[in-house]
Structure 1
Amino acid sequence: MTSERNEELRRQIVRLSDVMAALRNPDGGCPWDLEQDFASIAPYTIEEAYEVADAISRGNMEELRGELGDLLLQTVYHARMAEEQGAFDLADVIGQIADKMIARHPHVFGSDSIADADAQTENWERIKARERGTAAGTLDGIALALPALMRAQKLQRRAARVGFDWPNASGARDKIFEELSELETASDEDARAEEAGDLLFSVVNYLRHLNIDAEAALRAANDKFSRRFKGVEAKADIPLEDLTLSELETLWQQAKRER
């Protein structure tokens, strides 16, 4: 990056920080922004992260630029509220993540050597474990607020690093059928709900062994279903509820061939 772009980056970061400070200024700031706190803003932070992912999935660079800005604003927002409480400020946030990236990439900023991306992933996790400390549990630090599929993957990967894992995908696959059987024979609604969770967890585990991201796979399946169902609606010349199941299936197969 040229010195001119570096200077522009610094200027724009300061400008955005100043904008947020003005919005949160009790003397003339925005009433809505002044009412917010960490808890009320957190859902917007999560929503913006998903909108970034959506723009990426559609390959829309113009939207991605805007959504990344919206996500960046969330960081600035939280940092500003923390600064108001005397906890930390935006400079602390940026400095800490820069320090963390340097510490976690000793092959770039130090003298270590890394053979490939897989080796870097293993080294990254070793460094993270060291940062958590010896007193920390294997599963500590995995956020409860993560989407369930994503959290399941992270839990399983952490457990696998200490040897708690199937030796191959076939064991994980067999577990799916075991959990399905237990779901089918569950004695009551509570037991069925518990076994359904075990079944989903097992499916995530199997996909992990196949190097498939369960969250991304289900997101793609949701998008595909939505796209095809809209195709069914477009083809129907009467309300869908007035069609027979056989007629709906015919339209569905047509939509599948086209989309």
Structure 2
Amino acid sequence: MDPIATVTGPGRQRAAAATGDATPRAVDPSTAWTEYLAAARQLDGVRRGAAAAAGEQARSAEAAREELTVVRTGLASQQERLRELGVPAISLVPSPPELTEAARSMAGGPAAVLAALRAARGWAEAADAALAARRRFRPGSWPARARNLLVYGPFALLVPLIQVVVLAATGVGPATVAALICGLPMPAVVFVAGWIGIGRLFRASPTERLDRTVRFGVLVCLVPAVLATVGLLLALLAG
């Protein structure tokens, strides 16, 4: 046999297997396509989740900016009212521990900042409600006419009451005539006294002018005086 003859049969097959020269197994196209679709869907889900998270953060940041504007406006108005009530300015500034706690509560991103701002807005609104409840019992916060009536009214009633007391005590006579004459200029005096009293009792903010309701004050001072004068005249004429 020729030494270079080709060896065939089982021996050749065993030699091919020993050298690893085997034909690779074919991959099913449908399986590869299914795996590709699954990977694509997974990547799309990741992309959508990232986009949703980014959009949520953007919305939270925008809402936090709007909330911050509202809170700042409310706090500025509240600080002004508290200063009018005599609260020291240093008491309206947060302390370092409070700043540290606030920074810690907002370290979780825009959503945490938004939650903290909403909580702060709730506290500010509760404080506003408490201030409003207190102001209802303070004449300085009443409407101008109701507030000024507390000053004009007692002054306007003082002289007529004295005239009525004189008439009741002495009857029709010289004392009643003197009370009538003395009471004629009293409305002007009473109005001036009320004007000064309003300025002393009630204070306006530096940017506002104290409303003394001049016409209303004149009316309040005149009506009791006119009624008392008419009553004294009728008593004198009847006597």
Same-fold status (TM-score > 0.5) = no
Larger radius of gyration: 2
* TM-score w.r.t. length of structure 1: 0.19
TM-score by length of 2: 0.20
